[in-house]
Amino acid sequence: MTTYHHRRTFLGMVGAAWLTPVAAQLARAAEKAKREPATSIIVLWMDGGPSQLETFDPHPGTRIAAGGTAIDTAVKGVQLGKGLERLAEQMADVSLVRSVVSKEGDHERGTYTMKTGFRPDPTVVHPSIGAVCCHELAAAGTDIPRHVSIFPGQWPARGGYLGDKYDAFRMDDPAGPVPDTQSFLPKPRDEKRLQSLEVVEGAFARGRGGRAENTLHKHTLSAARTMMSSEQLKAFDVSQEPLAVRRKFGDTPFGRGCLAARRLIEVGVRCVEVTLSGWDTHVNNHELVAKQLAILDPAFAALLADLKERKLLDKTVVMCGGEFGRTPIVNPAGGRDHWPGGFSVAVAGGGIKGGQVVGATDPDGKKEPTEPAKVADLHATMLAAVGIDHAKVNHTPIGRTVKYADDGTPIRGLLADRG
Amino acid sequence: MIWAKNLLFVAVIGGGVFTLGLNLIPPAKPTVLTEYHSPAPSNLPVEAVNQAFRKQWEDEGVTPVEPAPDLIVARRLALGLMGTVPSLEEIRQFEILPADQRIDWWLDHLFADQRFADYFGERLARAYVGTEDGPFILYRRRRFVSWLSEQVAANKPYDTLVRELIAGDGLWTDHPGTNFISVTSRPEMKNQPDPVRLAGRVTRAFLGMRLDCAQCHNHPFAAWKQTDFEGLSAFFGRTDIGFGGVHDGKTGEYEVETKAKDGTRVVDPKVPYAPELLPHTGTRRQQLAAWVTHKQNPFFARAVVNRVWALMHGRPLFEPVDNLDPSADVPPALDILANDFVAHGHDLRRLIRTIAKTQVFQLDSASDRQVGETEEKAWAVFPLTRLRPEQVSGSVLQAASVATVNAESHILLRLMRYGQQNEFVKRYGDTGEDEFEGRGGTIPQRLLLMNGEMVRERIKENPLNASSRIAWLAKDDPRAVEAAYLAVLSRRPTSVEREHFEKLLADPSVKRTQRLEDLYWALVNSTEFSWNH
């Protein structure tokens, strides 16, 4: 009891003194729940803009379904598109936001919006959510980059105004080596090279002293050397997992990416983005989506199950979505076109309540969705889950003030024990 | 027939091998290969700029450092104007000239080089349209960039160039300047250009102002109002894209949404200041273009001077590069250069030459005295700034070759260079539109230079690579070390460095070519290589 009182007094004092009201509220909510905020985010990035109708928001039997069917899930009354059978089993841990509304229908601009929570703005480049996490959360003793993008694609997560040191570290299929981390030289020769480098650095520092030091070049180089010899590099190496585990994720590049994401989170990486491209289904939508689901379903489901088994799901927010959804009406080529006006995102873990559905799209594909969620609301929700104040004001290099999640607010009912 | 064809084939291959072979042989005895006959520019305002800075230093009690060695000045110019270090071949030519002719010769040499036009074209493109891919069908970024390069190569007066961008008509494919307009079109807007984004681009790129903040609210520290921004946008209210490309209609009004549901109101074109400079004839875009580039519109010349200064120094004279606050004091040097630019036909090369010859540009970045932030801020010491990804990759490729890698290099070399450079820049992390981001480098960048494929390929034992050629052809170790230093860092080694590397090269336990490779590795991974100084 004493402890309880102490904490309360302390929090009240601190809240009144300098915490912003939102953070104070969060702190109070956290106290009530007695749970720590999550520490990592995994973004399963569905590049190209996945159709909501064949994935997280089926409308079976309607005209807009165009023959698509749905399956029941572990949560009564919540259906998923056919092909997500394994994810359906995990539904008690997953929530769906079916009413995401964005204003950007172009791939590049839509990607920017979904990854940063802001529309593109010519006067500032916003950081992706992973960069925000790395900037705000403690480093946790990692020697490897804390922000990783597996299959970076054209527009990987960026540090924006927080600086390019927060850019995601880009790598391809974890079946291959981590790029540029091996010198391929015998140790004595490698060491001699470093000695030589010291000599050259010494000459440059002469007459430049602190200014040469301020470039942080040597500092960054030594961090890179630490990474090269770090045991944590093995986190990228999925071949160290038992075959049975690898099979669960699926023998696909994306499956390996998801498995690597889990391994990276375990060693303290803050944010991993794993991209599955191929969702831009302007032609033959149903057929193409079915192929995508065969890759996504085992990987996504295995990732959640695996995290849960290792008691990491509570500490890890998992988000799955793309830059926009697709038109309710199927076009003459059997495809669906870009549709930012009501699409779906799945969220799980990190204290986010499972089995919830937020908003609903019109079964006729005409009216706007109910309970619309702005992209910024989605970001505010995820940031709240990792304990970051989404309304915190930052200063860009040109002195502009920007919040982390625009004018968003956490989506009601998604944050467990937080009202 | 078959015989003739075979013969032709053999001749083509043979010819290729022969030219490649010629490339392998480094110039044995350097002579000045090119003489330039551009009229000696007179009355450059170099002294006026120098005096302005001297006065500032005196007022602030700051003492400038000594001048930099002229090879280092040449390196700065090569990096700033064409994105690479000078080649060993060019350095040899530079050094046989009398000291007082070197910088002018070097500038003539750079201006005549396609690499200058290409590099500068890309820099201008980033300021004008950024790096986004834009609308797929209506925008051709590469056409736009190569068109800008052609304008730079022809030294088109800058005001004419800008008028063509703002007011040009036609298709983005055969009038590539119109990509400036068409890049803003979006499917949600029925593929029509966006007046709001255009107004933002025009003010930022050509007037060095971030009026676009006033798009949503009144500017926090400048005098701009939201209505100023709307008035500017209205100049693009009649611009549309049709079968004939970008075009201005004779009628039509620009409307903005009001807070009332479905409400709109008409906005008339209006410039935010100096309305007397606006002509009464021409299309709305022509009127705006004339106003922007008017000789008495002070922001136009200041903006470009500030940008060119930044490209050459790695840091703008007035920060940030595109936010010339009208209420703040403008550095006197900015106005001296801007006035000269307007008075002499908006000549970019004259501007570059003037800046290159100022005391400030030629100052050292090191000093025996204690210098720090105060001196850097006052331009009393040359700033240390991070090189752009293209500059780093261009420098790796150039440093790895004895001969100059330029438009005259063998096609195979150029293709290889192009492919490698793109891959490198992608991994290094393009800074995009933010051209003058000063913060330190990243871990992936260091990994890429230490272990990356391009560096490994370019420094390893290979008859095309400078490390091998120097190993074979340098008469002795001291000369080999010196050649490597000149090729990579554009300077000679200090006595400590000389001693260290001569010892390294004398080590019999490692192959000589490998020892040279290790020397190259150390130089390429140094702070000095990745920073402008």
Interface probe for B, chosen from A143, A167, A200, A280 (most Cβ of B below 10 Å), is A200
Query: For B440-481, how does the pLDDT look when each residue is reduced to its tens digit (9 = 90+)?
Result: 688 899 999 999 988 888 888 888 888 888 888 888 999 999
Q: How far is the alpha carbon of B34 from chain A, nearest alpha carbon, in Å?
A: 33
Query: For A125-151, how does the pLDDT look when each residue is reduced to its tens digit (9 = 90+)?
Result: 899 999 999 999 988 788 999 999 999
Query: For B375-405, how does the pLDDT look when each residue is reduced to its tens digit (9 = 90+)?
Result: 999 999 999 999 988 899 899 989 988 888 7
Please name the member of B323, B439, B494 whose beta carbon is closest to the beta carbon of A203.
Answer: B494
Q: How many whole angstroms separate alpha carbon A145 and alpha carbon A140?
A: 11
Question: Percent of chain B having pLDDT more than 90?
Answer: 55
Look-up: residue for tokens 């625009």? A406
Band of residue B14 on the pLDDT scale cut at 50, 70, 90: low
Q: How many CA atoms lie within 13 A of A343 on its CB side?
A: 30
Nearest to A278 by CA among A114, A153, A98: A153
Q: How many whole angstroms separate alpha carbon B123 and alpha carbon B430?
A: 13
Write the CB contacts of B59 (distance below 8 Å, at least 6 apart in sequence): none
pTM of the model: 0.85
Taking CB atoms and an 8 Å limit, are A164 and B431 in contact across chains? yes
Query: For B94-103, how does the pLDDT look when each residue is reduced to its tens digit (9 = 90+)?
Result: 999 999 999 9
In this structure, what token pair is assigned to residue A19?
A: 């915490």
Q: How far is the alpha carbon of A201 from chain B, nearest alpha carbon, in Å?
A: 6
Q: Looking at residue B171, what is its pLDDT?
A: 87
Q: Looking at residue A112, what is its pLDDT?
A: 95
Q: Tell me: pLDDT of B224 over 90.
A: no
In this structure, what token pair is assigned to residue B78?
A: 């090569």
Please name the member of A200, A206, A217 whose beta carbon is closest to the beta carbon of B366.
Answer: A206
Query: For B507-522, how does the pLDDT look when each residue is reduced to its tens digit (9 = 90+)?
Result: 888 888 899 999 999 9
Taking CB atoms and an 8 Å limit, are A224 and B443 in contact across chains? yes
Range in A325-334, B21-30, B106-115, B471-480 the model is least confident about: B21-30
Q: Tell me: pLDDT of B163 over 80.
A: yes
Q: Looking at residue A10, what is its pLDDT?
A: 42
Taking a C-beta distance cutoff of 8 angstroms, is the pair B316, B306 a contact? Answer: yes
Q: Looking at residue B377, what is its pLDDT?
A: 92
Contacts of A229 in chain B (CB under 8 A): none
Contacts of B210 in chain A (CB under 8 A): 123, 398
Taking CB atoms and an 8 Å limit, are B366 and A208 in contact across chains? yes
Look-up: residue for tokens 């944050």? A415
Q: How many CB atoms lie within 10 A of CB B410?
A: 16
Q: Tell me: pLDDT of B307 over 90.
A: yes
Which residues share a beta bridge with B374?
Answer: none
CATH number for region A37-174+237-403 = 3.40.720.10
Nearest to B64 by CA among B365, B352, B330: B365
Which residues share a beta bridge with A339?
Answer: A325
Q: Looking at residue A5, what is its pLDDT?
A: 43
Q: Looking at residue B38, what is its pLDDT?
A: 65
Domain ranges in chain B are 135-292
Q: Which chain B residue lies closest to A104 (C-alpha atoms)?
A: B188
Q: Is B19 helix (H, G, I), strand (E, B) or coil?
A: helix
Q: Looking at residue A4, what is its pLDDT?
A: 42
Contacts of A184 in chain B (CB under 8 A): 451, 456
Interface probe for A, chosen from B525, B530, B532, B533 (most Cβ of A below 10 Å), is B525
Query: For A120-132, how does the pLDDT look when each residue is reduced to its tens digit (9 = 90+)?
Result: 887 788 999 999 9
Taking a C-beta distance cutoff of 8 angstroms, is the pair B181, B198 a contact? Answer: yes
B510/A contact by beta carbon, under 8 A: yes
Contacts of B526 in chain A (CB under 8 A): 197, 200-201, 204, 217
Q: Looking at residue A302, what is its pLDDT?
A: 98
Q: How many whole angstroms separate alpha carbon A334 and alpha carbon A332?
A: 5
Range in A217-231, B269-283, B396-410 the model is least confident about: B396-410
Taking CB atoms and an 8 Å limit, are B439 and A164 in contact across chains? yes
In this structure, what token pair is assigned to residue B373?
A: 């932030």
Nearest to A124 by CA among A308, A398, A407: A398
Q: How many whole angstroms separate alpha carbon B113 and alpha carbon B116?
A: 6
Nearest to B532 by CA among B360, B312, B306: B312
Q: How many whole angstroms separate alpha carbon B40 and alpha carbon B35?
A: 13
CA distance from start to end of chain B? 61
Taking CB atoms and an 8 Å limit, are B522 and A199 in contact across chains? yes
Taking CB atoms and an 8 Å limit, are B201 and A228 in contact across chains? no
Band of residue B493 on the pLDDT scale cut at 50, 70, 90: very high
B527/A contact by beta carbon, under 8 A: yes
Q: Looking at residue A136, what is its pLDDT?
A: 93
DSSP state of B427: H
In this structure, what token pair is assigned to residue A76?
A: 């009564």
Q: Looking at residue B209, what is its pLDDT?
A: 84
Q: Tell me: pLDDT of B160 over 70.
A: yes
Nearest to B533 by CA among A397, A201, A279: A201
Taking CB atoms and an 8 Å limit, are A165 and B440 in contact across chains? yes
Please name the member of A167, A192, A200 whose beta carbon is closest to the beta carbon of B497.
Answer: A200
Write the CB contacts of B338 (distance below 8 Å, at least 6 apart in sequence): B298, B301, B302, B305
Q: How many whole angstroms separate alpha carbon B403 and alpha carbon B90?
A: 8
Q: Tell me: pLDDT of B18 over 80.
A: no
Q: How many whole angstroms separate alpha carbon B195 and alpha carbon A393?
A: 30
DSSP string, B282-336: S-HHHHHHHHHT-TT-HHHHHHHHHHHHHHHHSS-SSSSTT---TTSPPPHHHHH
Query: For A162-215, how does the pLDDT look when each residue is reduced to its tens digit (9 = 90+)?
Result: 888 899 999 999 999 998 999 889 999 999 999 999 999 999 999 998 899 988
Q: Looking at residue B24, what is its pLDDT?
A: 44
Cα-Cα-Cα-Cα dihedral sign, residues B184, B186, B188, B193 = positive
Phi then psi for residue A273, to 5 deg, are: -110, 125
Domain ranges in chain A are 37-174+237-403, 179-231
Q: Looking at residue B2, what is its pLDDT?
A: 63
Q: How many whole angstroms separate alpha carbon A272 and alpha carbon A42?
A: 5
Q: Which chain A residue lies closest to B323 (C-alpha atoms)?
A: A398
Q: How many whole angstroms separate alpha carbon A30 and alpha carbon A128?
A: 25
Taking a C-beta distance cutoff of 8 angstroms, is the pair B77, B107 a contact? Answer: yes
> What's the rounded mean pLDDT across residues B122-146?
86
Average pLDDT value for chain B: 87
Q: How many whole angstroms separate alpha carbon B233 and alpha carbon B113?
A: 39
Taking CB atoms and an 8 Å limit, are B440 and A338 in contact across chains? no
Query: For A363-397, how does the pLDDT look when each residue is reduced to its tens digit (9 = 90+)?
Result: 999 999 999 999 999 999 999 999 999 988 888 77
Q: Is A77 helix (H, G, I), strand (E, B) or coil?
A: coil
Q: Which residue has the higher pLDDT, B130 or A50?
A: A50
Q: Tell me: pLDDT of A19 over 80.
A: no
> What's the rounded mean pLDDT across residues B221-245?
83
Taking a C-beta distance cutoff of 8 angstroms, is the pair A96, A58 a contact? Answer: no
> What's the rounded mean pLDDT across residues A304-321?
97
Phi then psi for residue B120, to 5 deg, are: -70, -35
In this structure, what token pair is assigned to residue B530?
A: 């990745």
Q: How many whole angstroms separate alpha carbon B204 and alpha carbon B520?
A: 42
Q: Tell me: pLDDT of A27 over 60.
A: no
Taking a C-beta distance cutoff of 8 angstroms, is the pair B324, B309 a contact? Answer: no
